[in-house]
Structure 1
Amino acid sequence: MTSPHIASLSWGRMQVEGCSSRYKDCKVWPGGSRTWDWRETGTDHYPGVQPGDLEEVLKKGIELLIIGRGMNEALQVPSSTLDFVQQRGVEVRVLQTERAVAEYNKVASQGVKVGGVFHSTC
């Protein structure tokens, strides 16, 4: 199963190839995607991305996780969250969202089992 490409990104809007839904924030993994609803884990810009935000994607058999911190990189990613990912044997890259989407699409094109969580505003 391959990771779907992110077809478009603009402020507050993301479209994943093969999916009719439009997302503000999204989770993507080999074979699927869904809305990233911060209310599920109590996430906010600070303290930032929580391990609970990533568990679902990590369970999809990915080799690499890419986290998009927002267009202005306002979303924090604590070192404890990075440790959580690395302890599961998954490489993690944290980037500004436009760069994160470009990196995600590049490695997905190479056949890497990549997952991502992306914040499309601030």
Structure 2
Amino acid sequence: MTSPQIASLSWGRMKVQDCATAYKDCKVWPGGSRPWDWRETGTDHYPGVQAADVEEIVNKGVRTLVIGCGMSEALQVPSATLDYLRNKGVDVKVLQTQVAVREYNALAGGGARVGGVFHSTC
């Protein structure tokens, strides 16, 4: 199963290949995607992305996780989350969202078992 490409990105809007839904923030993994609703885990820009935000994707068997931390990089990624990912054997890349989407698409296009969480504003 391959990871879907991010088909388009603009401020506050993302489209995932073969998905009719547009997302503000999204999670993607081999074979799927869904909205990333920060209210599920109490996430906010600070302290940022929590292990609970990425656990679902890790459980899909990804080898690499790309985190898009916003267009202006306002979303933080605490060391506890990075430690969680490394302890699970997942390589993590934290990048500005436009750069993160390019990196994710390159990895997905190359057949990597890659997942991502992307914040499309601030």
Measured after TM superposition, the shift of residue 72 of structure 1 is 0.1
1:36-81 C-alpha deviation (Å, 9 max, x unpaired) = 0000000000000010000000011101000000000000000110
User: 5+ unaligned residues in a row in structure 2: which ranges?
Assistant: none
**Alignment partner of 1:29 is 2:52:** no
Measured after TM superposition, the shift of residue 118 of structure 1 is 0.1
- TM-score of the two chains, using structure 2 as the length reference: 0.99
1:14-48 C-alpha deviation (Å, 9 max, x unpaired) = 00001000000000000000000000000000000
Query: Runs of 4 or more off by more than 2 Å in structure 1?
Result: none
Matched residue of 2:103: which SS?
Answer: helix
Q: Distance in 2 between matches of 1:84 and 1:62?
A: 14
**Alignment partner of 1:92 is 2:97:** no
Matched residue of 2:65: which SS?
Answer: strand
Matched residue of 2:20: which SS?
Answer: coil
User: 5+ unaligned residues in a row in structure 1: which ranges?
Assistant: none
Matched residue of 1:27: which SS?
Answer: strand
Return the letter of the residue paired with 1:113.
R
Q: Distance in 2 between matches of 1:19 and 1:97?
A: 20
- 2:107 maps to 107
Q: Distance in 2 between matches of 1:14 and 1:121?
A: 10
- TM-score of the two chains, using structure 1 as the length reference: 0.99
**Alignment partner of 1:6 is 2:6:** yes
Number of matched residues?
A: 122
Q: Distance in 2 between matches of 1:76 and 1:37?
A: 16
Root mean square deviation, CA, Å: 0.3
Measured after TM superposition, the shift of residue 6 of structure 1 is 0.2
Matched residue of 1:77: which SS?
Answer: coil
Q: Distance in 2 between matches of 1:47 and 1:109?
A: 32
Return the letter of the residue paired with 2:32.
G
Q: Distance in 2 between matches of 1:54 and 1:101?
A: 17
